Amino acid sequence: MGSRPSTLAVKSMDDTLRGLAAAAKTVGGNGTVELTTNSVKAAQFIEARMRALGVHGYVRIVEP
């Protein structure tokens, strides 16, 4: 039984966000995470995962 791609994407993003938040706190910051993308859909996905995990931060969308 294999994992669905969306499940793998969620796990990967969650691992990334947790690691970034921990790193931001470790270096003396407040744990705020900033990610940049050129995709509105990607930004929505990332923001949803941040909310679900309680990760403080934001996503910037830049023009491609």
pLDDT, tens only, 33-44: 999 999 999 999
Cβ(57)–Cβ(21) under 8 Å?
A: yes
pTM of the model: 0.84
Residues 6+ apart with CB under 8 A from 24: 30, 31, 32, 33
For the chain, the average pLDDT equals 90
Cα–Cα distances in angstroms (integers) from residue 23 to residues 4, 45, 61, in the given order: 29, 21, 22
Please check the confidence at residue 5 and state whether its pLDDT lies above 70: no
Which residues have a Cβ under 8 Å from the Cβ of 22 and sit 6 or more positions away? 31
Confidence of residue 1 (pLDDT cuts 50, 70, 90): very low
